[in-house]
Chain A
Amino acid sequence: MTTAPAAVPEVRSLPLTAAQSGMWYAQRLDPDSPAQNTAECLEIRGPLAPVLFAEALHRTVGETDALRVRIEETPDGPRQFAIDIEPPGHGFPLHAADLRDQGDPSAVAYAWMRDDLARPLDLATGPLFRHALFQVGDAHWLWYQRVHHIVLDGFGYALVARRAAEVYRALAAGGDPGPSPFGRLGALVTEDAAYRASEACDADRAHWRAAVADRPEVPGLAGRTALPQRTFLRQTARIDTGLTGRIEELAGEVRATWPEVLMATQALYVSRATGSFGVVLGVPMMGRMGSAALRIPGMVMNVVPLRLHVTPATTFAELTRQVVLGIRAARRHQRYRYEDIRRDLGLLGEGRALVGPLVNVMPFDYGPDFAGAPTEAHNLSAGPVEDLTVNVYDRGDGAGLRIDHDGNPALYGQTELAAHQERFLELLGRIADSDPHLPLAAHSLPTAAERTAVVEEFNRTARPLPPTTLIGPIEAQAARTPDAPALVDGGQTLSYAQLDGRANRLARYLVSRGVGPGTVVALALPRSAGLVVALLAVLKAGGAYLPLDPDYPAQRLRYMTEDAAPVCAVTDVPGRLPDTGLPQIALEGLDLSGHPGLTPPRALTPQHPAYVIYTSGSTGKPKGVVVPHAAIDNRLRWMQDAYPLGAGDRVLQKTPSGFDVSVWEFFWPLREGATLVLAAPGGHKDPAYLARLIREQAVTTCHFVPSMLQVFLAEPDAARCTGLRRVFCSGEALARETAQEFARLLPDVPLHNLYGPTEAAVDVTYHACRPGDAGPVPIGRPVWNTRLYVLDPALAPCPPGIAGELYLAGGQLATGYLGRPALTATRFVADLYGPPGTRMYRTGDLARWTADGEIEYLGRTDHQVKLRGLRIELGEIEAALAADPAVSAACALVREDRPGDQRLVGYVTAADGQDPDPEALRRRLATALPDHMVPGAFVVLDGFPLSPNGKLDRAALPVPESTAGEGRVPRSHQEETLARLFAEVLGLPSVGVDDAFFDLGGTSLLAARLVTRVRAALGTDLTIGTVFQAPTPAALATALGAGDGGADDALGVLLPLRAHGDRTPLFVLHPAGGISWCYSGLLARLGPRQPVHGLQARGLARDEELPTTMEEMAADYAAQIRRVQPDGPYRLLGWSVGGVLAHTVAVLLQEAGARVELLALLDAYPSDQWRDQAVPDETDALTALLRMAGFERGGELTRADVLATLQREGSALAGLSGRTLSAAVDIVINNARLMRAHDHRVFDGDVLFFTAAAPRAEDWLTPGAWQPYVRGTLQRHDIDCLHPQMTQAPHLDTIAARLAARLEELNG
């Protein structure tokens, strides 16, 4: 029965086509990946003769030379070689199984298929296809085909399946299937090569380069990109015949086809989900039109980018027309490979996508006819998924369409994928039922249920409240608890009655100066009791207060007072503000005795303004936000309900009054009978002061901007602030790591994350951090009487998980911007989802809902940035820079070149004939802008980098240069360690010991990081304050030395490299030169819990007798070790001579009855091996000294030469005095002599041995020589380095990793 296919002469090897090459390289990147396996399962319902089927299949494969290849790399690149395929039963890759006796035959079959599909194929051996035929019922069969995508595409599958059925029919009828209809693989290769050499190819390259150069940046639904994974996730649904019919009808109406309608719908979906009018879809094309490839089963298909412009005003008909014309245009250039377009644009690799979702429509008339048995094809894998691929199959079986959403699991979860599919299908249904000539604004993404959730359910916050003001409840509280402490300012405490009385007197005076409801009073006072009195007084008089920071530049203060036109200004001392003609009332010397201490009468309503706070403005001028009493009253009533304050609570006031967080700090405690504790002016920047104040003043409640919280947590005393009952964060994104660190240090203190702009009365959302949570910290749910909307560009609600712009509505909205009705109208717009006549505020913040109704903050939609919690409009800085006469154009940017380290950088180009000087720019800017808006670095450019479409390319602006690393070399191991840590934290190649941390770009955040690292490396306690006071490695080393052993001790017999830690200490013994600083590299690598003590030679620190035997030296060290750790088990390590010593000490300790649980030797060899070697002379000693510092000796002849080398290379040893250096040389010689005379005894235990395994002159050294002196085993690890390199990176990393693992085992 089995007949070999007709012998056809064929070329035995061919190059790959461009299409295949792309896949070959992808496979080579991850040879074990099964991602490029494609598979289909054809369900055959009817009688089938398996033997005939196998024969038909074999013949068909015989006709398909593209399938019968293996692919191997050759000197000419990868080539495909023809392979022989054995007949069925003799090796033909067909697995046949009758599963009818299984409980669920289909399930068993599909499990087998899934398993097979997960197996990678070896391209070099082949075959690259496999079949299976399962009988799952008496007349029910499953034909499984799995093929590597590199040899076959979807169209090719259809050709193969139909030919196999044709052959089967002929065989079943006893006839001849006729000649093969297939063309040859060689024709594909020839056609491909001809194209690649053609002018058309060049023209296509130019076309695509121009067409996608300025494409939108984030085309995908996930908002990020990832490399394709080894697997994909799939969500499958059917589009029933009803909907399919309606889609076809709609397609006819807009003169398009149904696939084009699906693509237009997908474009609309992507546009809304990404918030971008620009969309790029990927459209797979079969690439065979008008080509011989129509008859060749092989890999031909390509993907082309389809760019679309989707605005809310576009109609669906217009969008579909764009799709039709876009595909028509793309089709003319479709032969140019997708991978080549990406390569031309420099997009290879992760993080740079060209297209978003792929819409892959496969309308192939597939159904092969196996002698009349009906069939149904199911795709199991369509190949690797870059982002999201929507596969739509029309099998022409009258059952509608099948739609698979295939997602990259690095970007989508199954639930997300299902949600995207459900929404897409609902959207498709709504579009099919709508007039295609309506603007797309009529359509939105969420399903009906999602819409109800995000608009209604998540916003059920209505709460009736009495019509009160900010001040009323404070006055009522003062009447209730007149004698309770209201305010603590340093040593001064005011009772509620005292505070109220003083405020009333001042209020009455202010009334006499014209202050009343609707008027504004400027306040320019440092944080003090006087400030609180003035705040209350303005409110009591009915006025709104305008906080002015007296430290602001005069220019800005003048602008704000002119813009807000206050009635008067209250200051602490005369002359606090520049003279602008504004009446100034200085509290110092003001006699208020004529005014009674009773509440003044006032006609104040909740709608009157309570305060005006200025925020940075994008147009270059700050703007005043007017907040009414009702708004802030709502905010404080909600806060009291959510976090009840009682009489015993003490709230820290540390936020400057110009920032709105201060509003709740000032007023909330006074409304509830709690006590307000004022931080000293400027104290809010000093974490050590704050920690002390919180403890000493028994503060229960306080606020931190997250970046300041991070700094605070690095303060050792932060963990002792256990009297805190609640801590609030707001002002910028709270990092999960910060929240976790907080939970670790203060496990019993709840941490709450709040969010809100000044325009909505401080905060509008809240979230309680939970220690176990992961991922970004949400900003949470809406507060009372507040609604949140996440809206897409058409102002339609976004479903959960989809990012949009955050809008706020409800009772906390500000009245608007003072004196700026036009600006107010653009930011406070009609609330589309609220009661008629209400407003919503457009935050400019990107956000998304979580499934359970919390908001996640994702960033800004514009160039407004927050730097350490302070809101900054870059436009304002740019305007100030551009106003400088030396500058022609300017740009400002917050850079984060090191994670977590944000800094503001100004970029300028010079005006004609000018040469802008950064220092002069800084000075001039400081006269116009507050400190936090003055860039830390300025860069003068010849011109600004532009993107292909001529816009400023902010990402291409250069990193500001810094100069560091010059100067004096370290004097001690501490200096050396600190200089290295400075460099690591600052991201610099090196740092000199006299370079100041903050001059090199250090910030307080980086200082916090430095403190953590220094603690880890040196085990010493230090605070950020220490870094401020001693900002250079040299100064810091001195400061640390003063508190924790003097610097002289660096040469003492016992060197505490890290004195503290809860683990059993590790003792490290000095090499030949007697100094143990070389082990400092172990510290960071072994972690902060591992104490490390060095043993150093006598005679280094002071003149003393050198030991006369190795036994004597070891006994001395054993005694020193027992001083630190009186009892075992002991852990010892030694390098070189130190290893010999460590062994000797270990023996002594054992003989004294102690346990030694670790003996680690770093390239150390027993005395026997040295005995016959000459004792080193001075020259040898100098060589040894250099080795100690990690260098091989070069041309150095004298002690001076050696010293010069050490200095040039920046070694810590270079700081040794001449006396010490001489001593070290003597010690080297003495140690060599003692070692040669030493007799080892036996150590009872295992030895961890590290060999410097690079070839060396002393080839007679062998670790095996230890064997007589070790009762246990010698566990050897070869390190690929020379002896002197062992204590240097990267070799020390390897050693420390082994060592750490061993220590970990010992720790249990």
Chain B
Amino acid sequence: MALTLQQIRADVADALGEDPADVPDDENLVDLGLDSIRIMSLIGRWRREHAVETAFVDLAEHPSIESWAAVLGVTS
């Protein structure tokens, strides 16, 4: 199943312990508690569940949902 913007948002919210509605696409996720271990768990999750390969640095460099969508090639 392809990764969607909605799924990214849901997974990020889950990793942060927040409600998806409380995670705006342009928010700096670091301010919401994103850390390296959570990024790595997301990378692992997306690899397992959506066969998406990405590098830690690519996500950590611009930690927001909209940037990640671009990095991960997700458009909608």
- Contact between B30 and A286 (Cβ–Cβ < 8 Å)? no
On whether A290 and B63 interact (CB within 8 A), knowing A257-B38, A259-B37, A331-B35, the answer reads yes
Give 1 or 0 for each of B36-68: 1 = CB within 8 Å of chain A CB: 111011000000000000001100111100000
- Contact between B17 and A324 (Cβ–Cβ < 8 Å)? yes
Closest chain B residue to A292, Cβ basis? B61
Chain A residues whose C-beta falls within 8 Å of the C-beta of B60 in the assembled complex: 288-290, 294
Bound together, the chains give a CA A276 to CA B32 distance in angstroms of 30
Closest chain A residue to B62, Cβ basis? A290
A328 at the interface (CB under 8 A from B): yes
On whether A289 and B37 interact (CB within 8 A), knowing A256-B17, A295-B57, the answer reads no
Bound together, the chains give a CA A361 to CA B62 distance in angstroms of 22
- Contact between B36 and A363 (Cβ–Cβ < 8 Å)? yes
Closest chain A residue to B57, Cβ basis? A294
- B28 partner, pick from A257, A259, A290, A295, beta carbons under 8 A: A290
Bound together, the chains give a CA A324 to CA B60 distance in angstroms of 19
- B53 CB, nearest partner CB in chain A, Å: 13
- Contact between B37 and A331 (Cβ–Cβ < 8 Å)? no
B34 at the interface (CB under 8 A from A): yes
On whether A290 and B30 interact (CB within 8 A), knowing A256-B17, A324-B17, A365-B56, the answer reads yes
- Contact between B36 and A331 (Cβ–Cβ < 8 Å)? no
B73 at the interface (CB under 8 A from A): no
Residues of chain A in range 225-283 having any CB-CB distance to chain B below 8 Å: 255-259
Residues of chain A in range 278-306 having any CB-CB distance to chain B below 8 Å: 286, 288-292, 294-295
- A799 CB, nearest partner CB in chain B, Å: 31
Closest chain B residue to A257, Cβ basis? B37
Closest chain A residue to B14, Cβ basis? A255
**Residue with the greatest number of chain B CB neighbours at <10 A, chosen from A286, A289, A291, A363:** A289
Chain B residues whose C-beta falls within 8 Å of the C-beta of A363 in the assembled complex: 36-37, 40
- Contact between B63 and A289 (Cβ–Cβ < 8 Å)? yes
- Contact between B57 and A286 (Cβ–Cβ < 8 Å)? no
Closest chain B residue to A286, Cβ basis? B36
- Contact between B35 and A289 (Cβ–Cβ < 8 Å)? yes
B33 at the interface (CB under 8 A from A): yes
**Residue with the greatest number of chain B CB neighbours at <10 A, chosen from A288, A291, A324, A363:** A363
A209 at the interface (CB under 8 A from B): no
A1102 at the interface (CB under 8 A from B): no
- Contact between B32 and A328 (Cβ–Cβ < 8 Å)? yes
Determine the main DSSP class of B at the interface with A: helix
Closest chain B residue to A158, Cβ basis? B56
Closest chain B residue to A325, Cβ basis? B33
Bound together, the chains give a CA A289 to CA B64 distance in angstroms of 11
A820 at the interface (CB under 8 A from B): no
**Residue with the greatest number of chain A CB neighbours at <10 A, chosen from B31, B38, B61:** B61
- A318 CB, nearest partner CB in chain B, Å: 14
Chain A residues whose C-beta falls within 8 Å of the C-beta of B37 in the assembled complex: 257-259, 361, 363
Chain A residues whose C-beta falls within 8 Å of the C-beta of B40 in the assembled complex: 363, 365
A332 at the interface (CB under 8 A from B): yes
Give 1 or 0 for each of A972-990: 1 = CB within 8 Å of chain B CB: 0000000000000000000
A1182 at the interface (CB under 8 A from B): no
On whether A255 and B17 interact (CB within 8 A), knowing A290-B60, A294-B60, the answer reads yes
Bound together, the chains give a CA A361 to CA B38 distance in angstroms of 13
Bound together, the chains give a CA A290 to CA B32 distance in angstroms of 13
Chain B residues whose C-beta falls within 8 Å of the C-beta of A290 in the assembled complex: 28, 30, 60-63
Closest chain A residue to B33, Cβ basis? A328
A327 at the interface (CB under 8 A from B): yes
Chain B residues whose C-beta falls within 8 Å of the C-beta of A294 in the assembled complex: 57, 60-61
Closest chain B residue to A288, Cβ basis? B60
- A52 CB, nearest partner CB in chain B, Å: 25
On whether A331 and B57 interact (CB within 8 A), knowing A257-B37, A259-B37, A365-B40, the answer reads no
- Contact between B30 and A331 (Cβ–Cβ < 8 Å)? yes
Chain B residues whose C-beta falls within 8 Å of the C-beta of A365 in the assembled complex: 40, 56
Bound together, the chains give a CA A332 to CA B29 distance in angstroms of 11
Give 1 or 0 for each of A339-377: 1 = CB within 8 Å of chain B CB: 000000000000000000000010111000000000000
Chain A residues whose C-beta falls within 8 Å of the C-beta of B34 in the assembled complex: 289
On whether A257 and B41 interact (CB within 8 A), knowing A289-B60, A290-B63, the answer reads yes
Closest chain B residue to A363, Cβ basis? B37
Closest chain A residue to B32, Cβ basis? A328
Bound together, the chains give a CA A291 to CA B40 distance in angstroms of 17
Closest chain A residue to B17, Cβ basis? A255
**Residue with the greatest number of chain A CB neighbours at <10 A, chosen from B17, B35, B63:** B35
Bound together, the chains give a CA A331 to CA B28 distance in angstroms of 12
Bound together, the chains give a CA A259 to CA B35 distance in angstroms of 11
On whether A332 and B31 interact (CB within 8 A), knowing A286-B36, A324-B17, the answer reads yes
Bound together, the chains give a CA A292 to CA B28 distance in angstroms of 15
Bound together, the chains give a CA A332 to CA B35 distance in angstroms of 12
- B30 partner, pick from A259, A289, A324, beta carbons under 8 A: A289
Chain B residues whose C-beta falls within 8 Å of the C-beta of A364 in the assembled complex: 36
**Residue with the greatest number of chain B CB neighbours at <10 A, chosen from A286, A292, A294:** A294
**Residue with the greatest number of chain A CB neighbours at <10 A, chosen from B28, B40, B63:** B40
Give 1 or 0 for each of A318-335: 1 = CB within 8 Å of chain B CB: 000000110110011000
Bound together, the chains give a CA A331 to CA B63 distance in angstroms of 14
Closest chain B residue to A159, Cβ basis? B57
- Contact between A289 and B17 (Cβ–Cβ < 8 Å)? no
- A331 partner, pick from B17, B33, B41, beta carbons under 8 A: B33
Closest chain B residue to A290, Cβ basis? B63
Bound together, the chains give a CA A291 to CA B28 distance in angstroms of 12
- Contact between A327 and B57 (Cβ–Cβ < 8 Å)? no
- Contact between B35 and A327 (Cβ–Cβ < 8 Å)? yes
Bound together, the chains give a CA A353 to CA B17 distance in angstroms of 33
Chain A residues whose C-beta falls within 8 Å of the C-beta of B28 in the assembled complex: 290
Bound together, the chains give a CA A1239 to CA B14 distance in angstroms of 103
- B13 CB, nearest partner CB in chain A, Å: 11
Residues of chain A in range 395-438 having any CB-CB distance to chain B below 8 Å: none
**Residue with the greatest number of chain A CB neighbours at <10 A, chosen from B34, B60, B62, B63:** B60
Bound together, the chains give a CA A290 to CA B37 distance in angstroms of 15
Bound together, the chains give a CA A857 to CA B36 distance in angstroms of 45
Closest chain B residue to A181, Cβ basis? B57
- A855 CB, nearest partner CB in chain B, Å: 43
- B19 CB, nearest partner CB in chain A, Å: 12
Chain B residues whose C-beta falls within 8 Å of the C-beta of A331 in the assembled complex: 30-31, 33, 35
Bound together, the chains give a CA A328 to CA B29 distance in angstroms of 10
Chain A residues whose C-beta falls within 8 Å of the C-beta of B56 in the assembled complex: 365
Bound together, the chains give a CA A332 to CA B33 distance in angstroms of 9
Bound together, the chains give a CA A255 to CA B40 distance in angstroms of 16
Chain B residues whose C-beta falls within 8 Å of the C-beta of A259 in the assembled complex: 37
- B37 CB, nearest partner CB in chain A, Å: 5
Chain A residues whose C-beta falls within 8 Å of the C-beta of B61 in the assembled complex: 290-292, 294-295
Bound together, the chains give a CA A294 to CA B71 distance in angstroms of 16
Chain A residues whose C-beta falls within 8 Å of the C-beta of B31 in the assembled complex: 328, 331-332
- A341 CB, nearest partner CB in chain B, Å: 20
Bound together, the chains give a CA A256 to CA B35 distance in angstroms of 11
Bound together, the chains give a CA A364 to CA B32 distance in angstroms of 21
- B39 CB, nearest partner CB in chain A, Å: 9
Bound together, the chains give a CA A906 to CA B9 distance in angstroms of 64
Bound together, the chains give a CA A331 to CA B32 distance in angstroms of 9
Bound together, the chains give a CA A340 to CA B17 distance in angstroms of 32
Chain B residues whose C-beta falls within 8 Å of the C-beta of A325 in the assembled complex: 33
- B21 CB, nearest partner CB in chain A, Å: 17
Give 1 or 0 for each of B19-31: 1 = CB within 8 Å of chain A CB: 0000000001011
Which B residues are within 8 Å of any A CB, using their own CB? 17, 28, 30-38, 40-41, 56-57, 60-63
Given pairs A289-B34, A331-B33, 5 additional interface contacts (CB within 8 A): A289-B35, A290-B60, A294-B61, A324-B33, A365-B40
Instruction: Enumerate 28 A-B pairs (CB-CB under 8 Å) in ascending A order.
Output: A257-B35, A257-B37, A257-B38, A257-B41, A258-B37, A259-B37, A286-B36, A289-B60, A290-B28, A290-B30, A290-B60, A290-B61, A290-B63, A294-B57, A294-B60, A295-B57, A324-B33, A325-B33, A327-B33, A328-B31, A331-B31, A331-B33, A331-B35, A332-B31, A361-B37, A363-B36, A365-B40, A365-B56
- 6 smallest CB-CB distances across A and B, nearest first, come from A328-B33, A255-B17, A289-B30, A257-B37, A294-B57, A363-B37
